[in-house]
Structures are given as C-alpha cells and as structure tokens.
Structure 1
Amino acid sequence: MAAGMSNPIAVIVLAAGKGTRMKSDLHKVLHPIAGRPMLLHLMASVDALNPAKKVVIVGDKADQLEAALAGTADLAVQDPQLGTGHAVQQAEAALAGFDGDVLILYGDVPFVPAATMQAMIDRLNADDAPAVVVLAFEPNDAQQYGRVITEGDRVTKMVEHKDATDAERAVRLCNSGLMAAKSTDLFPLLARVTDDNAAKEYYLVDIVNIANADGRHCAVVVTDPYDVAGINSRGELAAMETEWQARRRVAAMTDGASLIAPDTVWFAWDTQLGRDVLIEPNVFFGPGVTVADNVKIRANCHLEGTTIGTGCEVGPFARLRPGTVLGEKAKIGNFVETKKAVLGKGAKANHLTYLGDVTVGAGANIGAGTITCNYDGYFKYQTVIGENAFIGSNSALIAPVTIGRDAIVAAGSAVSRDVAAGDLRMVRAEQMVKPGWADRFHDAMLKKKAGK
C-alpha cells in the first residue's frame, strides 16, 4: 500500500446474544461500567478509527440497542442465532459494495483500545498480506477459551476448547474472538464455514483454518488480557468495574490529583480533574463532572453533572446534582444539596441547605438551613440571589423570587416577594410571651401522670 494511503474501515460488532447469565431485562451490552453502557465504551474507541461503516449485529432486545445507538450504526438482525460465523454473515448486506478492511468486535468486550484495533488493521495491510488477523491474549487461567496455535506470528490452527486436544489445551495463547480481514476475503471464507463441530454452530474461527488450507496464511496480534476481557455475568461486570476504577485512580494521581484513600473514590467514564485536586475518602463521581485546579473535595460527597471552578471546596457530605456550576473559590459545605445551581465567585453555602434552580451572585452567603422552594407540585421556578447578599439561617426563599445585591434576609424568614438591593427583609410572626404558662403546664401534666 502506498505511503500515506489507507483503506476504508468497516466495523462489525456482535451483540445478538441473549445474555442469559445477566438475568436482566436490560440487554447485556447496555449494562454500565463507570456510568456508561459497555457497548458505548466500545463504540467510542471504534469512532477514533473514523470507520466508513459500522454494523451492529442484534437479536434479543434489539429495540434497546437501536435506542442506545440512536442512529450511529447500521443494525443487522441475526435470527436464528447459529454461532459467531453466522452472526458476522448477517452484516454482508449492510456492507454490500464496501471494499476495504473489516474489524470484527464484540459488544460485551468493551475496552479494546483504538490503538489495538489499529494494530490489527496495520498487520492486515503488511507486506505479507495475511488473509485474517487474529487478536490473541495470554490469560493467567486459559479456562474454556479457544486456542491459537502459532509459528512466530503466523497462525497455523484455531481450535475451540471443546474440540481441542490435550496438547492444544496446554497452549496459553487464547483467541479473543476479535479479527480483521479484507471484505473481499471475509465473506467468501464465511460462506465455506460448516457446523461440523461439537456445538453444531458456525464458528468464526474456522475462516482461519479454511484460509490456511487454501495456502494463504493468517497472523496474530497479541494484547493485554484486560483489553479483551468479556463480560457475561454481573460478577464479571463488577470485576471489570473494579479493574477500570483501579486504573482510573492511578491515572488521576499520575496527572496530579491527590486521593487520600484511592480505593474509596469512584469515577465516571468522563470525569475531568485539574491539577492539585484533593479528594478525600468516599467520593463518588457520576457522569458529567469537571473539576478545575486546586479544588478540595472532602469526604462522603456525591457529584454528578457538575462544573467546579478553581479553588473551590466541596463537602463533606455534599450532594451536587446536574446543572451545578461553582465559580472560583465558591464553597459548598456539609449536608448541602444543589441542583441547577450556579454560584458566583466566592459564594458559599456552608451547612444544611438545599439550592435548586437558583443563581447566587459572587460573595453571597447562604445561611444554615436555607432552602429554595422551587417546585409548586406542577412547575419549577427560579430564585436569583444578588452579589454579596446575606441569607439568614433557616430561611425559605419561595420562587420565583429575586434577592437584590447586598440585601439581607433575616433568619427564619419565608420570602415570597422580591427584595430590593440593599434592603433588609424580615418575615416572622410576632412573638407572644405568656409568663408562667410553661410552669403551670408542666405542673398540671405531672399531676395527671401521677394520677392525682
């Protein structure tokens, strides 16, 4: 192939299986890891190759996959399901007229790096022109995996575990199931695959043996077991989550964040952290969190859909919900919940507060126990708090309402009308005092209790 030239790439993703071991109404490949369906982890890596075509092979719960992919890939149905070779054949119509390189991936093998996919394509286009490239790995325990028998990096035989001899089972190099082939080779080879095996299925791996029998040769690329780990049960899902999180924590610390107790911090797939971020124990990041430099996130916080500015402090025991934006050096303290709350520079809510559908100006102080009453049972309403305003403790701001800059809301107020800039608003019932009433009450109740 000429320097600088590359063939178009098509990707076939197998996702037709029933996933019975998950025991779930949700399609197996839509179960999330780090807050993102495993299939979409894979498709993001696929997209890094800029493929010309993407075909997902579907069967059970196809409507769920169609909704999740939202038109980003063609769908081809496999029904009945007669094995991996038969599954790949279902993409032939969708790839009619396509002339290029084809990658075969699996929806339940979500963490294949784009670089590994590219390595398979590069090997397919090497000067010796292999018919098929197989992605293999060497697990600690070979279990029931099919084996890849090689001489150098050439594959001499592919064999499923149940069809392998004892000598073949002793080989540690295992088949991931992922392959690459030219479109002009792939479908003619698949057409020659038979179901003459213990499972009576059409195995994709047989295209390697057929190509070898034709006098062609096939090549192997070897990758890390993590890259090709398949997920078939909730136990395997949890194990992969654990491994993904462990790697993400290392990356966070490598990039300049401090995790006091790394194993207790949980990241989402898209969490972004600045430098010199301190994360205390038991912090959970949902999707959509961006953290700037020099931020302190104290223990036992839950953050999702949140942007945190430089120098902010959050928690402990804070919950930041989607739509929260904290300006530079803003502070959210313990037992504070925010939702669609924008806090300006230096604004702070230190204790026991709910801020929903609110804009808080720079330097404003929100006292303990303050809530924005943003919902009337039918609609949500906005609260606006001006710069340097002071909201006294145990206040209820009944939206829609605006508190002007430098205004003060006295503690214990229920504010339902706008407060002008610089004003004091106090909304309290008149205090009534009845001298001696409490003493008389206690005496009466004690006598009643004693039966007198």
Structure 2
Amino acid sequence: MLVVNGDSPLLTAASILKVIHAHQEAGSPATIASVEDPTRDDGRVIRNRDGWLERIVERKDATAEERASVHEFNVGVYCFDGSRLVEELDKIKDDNKAGEFYLTDVFLHLKPVTVVKLDDPSEAMGIKDRVRLARATDIARRRLLERLMLGGVTIVDPDSTFVDATVTIGQDTVIEPFTVLKGETQIGAECRIGPHVYIEDARVGDRSDCGPFAKLRPGTEVGEEVHIGSFAELVRTKVGRRSRVPHVSYLGDTDVGEDANIGAGTITANFDGTNKNRTEIGDGAFVGVDTMLVAPVKLGKGSRTGAGSVVTKDVPDGATAVGVPARVVRRKS
C-alpha cells in the first residue's frame, strides 16, 4: 500500500518509484522516504544505534537536543504491508502535545522500517500557506525551464520567464526575459520570443519571432517565418507564412494570407456590438499605416490600402483603396 501526503506537489514520480522499489526489495512491513534539510523544523527521523528508524518526532514533541542535532526529516511517502498496517492502526494514540493522531506513530509498532533518502530536499516541501505555495511554484517553474534548456531551448533569464507545463517549445528557440507562455501554447523551432511577450493557447510556427511587448491570445495561429513586432495584439487570428505584423496593431478574428504586410496602427474592428466578425487579408496584401478594417470585410490578394483608410467594403484582388470611407482608386489591369 502506497500513502503520500496530499500537500507535497514537488514529489517526482522517480522518487516515489524509488521508495516502492526499496520496499519491494527489503520486504519490510513499512518503508518511508526522508531528506536531509537543516532549514526544516517538522517531522524528524530518529534512528537507533544500528541506523534503523526508531520513531518520527513532530516539531512540538522534539527536544532541544533533537532540534539541534537531527536534520533528517520525514517526506510523507510511505509504503506499507497493507494487512500489517490495518492490524496496527488501532494502537495509534493522541497522547502528544498537539493532541492529534499521527499516522507516523504506527512505525512504533511496525518494525523494521526501511528508510530511503531522497537527494532533493525541496521534494519534501509541504504547502501549508500561500508563502510556501509561491516557493513551491517557483521550484516547479525552474524545473520546467531546466528541462526545456536541456532539450535545446535558450532561456535568456530564467528568473523572469514563466512557462506552463503544457507548453511545448522547439529546439534552438530563444526565449527572452519577461516572457509568459501559458496553456496549450506551441512554439516552433528556431523562433525568438520576447522580451515582454504574453502568449496563451496559441501556436507560433518555425523560425518566427514575436515581440517585444506583444500579446497572442487564445485561438491565434502564426505560420512559419512570420514577424510579429512590438505592441501587437492578436486573438483568434491566423497569420500565413512570411507575413509581417510589425508593430502597434490589433488583429481580432482575422485571417492573414502569406507574404502580407500589416502597417503600423492597423486595427480590425471585429465587434459590431452584438457579434464578432471576421476579416480576411489575402496573400501579398499591403495594409497601409493606421488602416481600420471594419469587419466583416475582405482585402483581396495583392490589394493595398492607403494610410489612414477606413475600409468598410471588400477590396478586390490587386486593387488599391484609400480614404474615409475607403474607395477603390486603382484596379488591377
């Protein structure tokens, strides 16, 4: 029977398997895990002269000598012979300073007990308040970043980088400082992300870059070799291969084709007060600076808009539209 404390999120599967295997090999009625950690002050592992577990002493019941000399602590991972455990549970009493029933007191009646020492003291951290929760979160975050770095991802500043466990990042991608990657985000290979970039539930293709100061919201898909520049925000938007959204733009509910250029200050007005509407920007389109695209609207392949245009009607392939509201002034010959 395996018993694990419920407030120990930093325990790894490898450590739990280590305890299980030791229990199976020893054939003892019980096995526990321990760590050496002079900074702790909770359940101390007290051994007898032969090195076997004698008892576990909780903080309130430890003597001054035990507090000063014993720095081996109980992790909260136990393996039991189930039938023996059931036989001995009734012998646990609450005759301690806390007036509580300690499961660890069962080891007074289950002998011998195998003790397995773990290498990483942080695995034994219990979460009893928000301070410890923050510490544990930071440790888990750093574990994830180390795994990414060992897998070929460059994390320029681990102290300021936050990546969820569900995020995937390709080899040779560089993550700049103050980057936050959340949810089911997928970043391709050889990308550059950041600094100051927030991406959630979005995909970025190989060899693309994003940032600084950019935000990709859920439902966004960025193709290969795409440039998303500073102060750009995209949501539920698809950007085709080799297209560019250089800076200071908002694209919501938009489909951008390949090799398109979105000028600075471009806005897709996707909400009409009731519904979210889509904008389509064709392959090779060139959107002039400060263009407003009032959805639903379509810019054809190779079309262009003049600076400051407000586009309320579709622009045909190869045509140029300018003005407020925009009018087609040149068509493809």
Unpaired runs of 5+ residues, structure 2, are 327-333
Structure with more strand by fraction: 2
The one of 29, 49, 63 aligned to 1:131: 29
Q: Does 1:218 align with 2:117?
A: no
- 8 A Cα contact 1:383 1:399, kept in partner: yes
Any residues of structure 2 matched to 1:397-408 within 5 Å, and which? Answer: 397-408=293-304
Deviation at 1:218, TM superposition (A): 1.4
- Normalising to structure 2: TM-score of the pair? 0.89
- 8 A Cα contact 1:139 1:174, kept in partner: yes
The one of 224, 234, 237 aligned to 1:328: 224
Q: Deviations over 1:144-174 (max 9, x none)?
A: 3333425667422222232233444322211
Any residues of structure 2 matched to 1:32-431 within 5 Å, and which? Answer: 102-126=1-25, 128-149=26-47, 154-169=52-67, 170-212=69-111, 217-223=112-118, 224-428=120-324
- Normalising to structure 1: TM-score of the pair? 0.67
The alignment of Structure 1 onto Structure 2 pairs a total of residues equal to 324
Q: Tell me which amino acid in the other structure corresponds to 2:35.
A: F
- 8 A Cα contact 2:267 2:293, kept in partner: yes
Deviation at 1:219, TM superposition (A): 1.0
Counterpart of 1:205 in 2: which secondary structure?
Answer: helix
Counterpart of 2:237 in 1: which secondary structure?
Answer: strand
Q: Which deviates more from structure 2 when the two are superposed, residues 236-245 or residues 132-141?
A: 236-245
Q: Deviations over 1:83-139 (max 9, x none)?
A: xxxxxxxxxxxxxxxxxxx3222332101111111122212222x411121111111
- 8 A Cα contact 2:36 2:121, kept in partner: yes
**Identity of matched residues, %:** 32
Q: Tell me which amino acid in the other structure corresponds to 1:173.
A: E
Q: Which runs of 4+ in 1 moved over 4 A?
A: 150-153
Q: Give distance in 2, aligned partners of 1:104 and 1:387.
A: 59
Counterpart of 1:226 in 2: which secondary structure?
Answer: helix
Counterpart of 2:109 in 1: which secondary structure?
Answer: helix
Q: Give distance in 1, aligned partners of 2:89 and 2:274.
A: 59
Q: Per the alignment, do residues 131 and 378 of structure 1 end up closer, same or farther by CA in structure 2, a change over 3 Å counting?
A: farther
Q: Tell me which amino acid in the other structure corresponds to 2:292.
A: A
Q: Per the alignment, do residues 153 and 309 of structure 1 end up closer, same or farther by CA in structure 2, a change over 3 Å counting?
A: farther
Q: Per the alignment, do residues 272 and 218 of structure 1 end up closer, same or farther by CA in structure 2, a change over 3 Å counting?
A: same
Q: Deviations over 1:272-317 (max 9, x none)?
A: 2222212222222223222111111232211221211111011111
Q: Give distance in 2, aligned partners of 1:220 and 1:361.
A: 62
Q: Give distance in 2, aligned partners of 1:427 and 1:149.
A: 85
Deviation at 1:345, TM superposition (A): 0.5
- 8 A Cα contact 1:149 1:173, kept in partner: no
Q: Per the alignment, do residues 357 and 383 of structure 1 end up closer, same or farther by CA in structure 2, a change over 3 Å counting?
A: same
Q: Tell me which amino acid in the other structure corresponds to 1:265.
A: T
Unpaired runs of 5+ residues, structure 1, are 1-101, 431-452
Q: Give distance in 1, aligned partners of 2:48 and 2:19.
A: 16
Q: Tell me which amino acid in the other structure corresponds to 2:11.
A: V
Q: Give distance in 2, aligned partners of 1:377 and 1:186.
A: 65
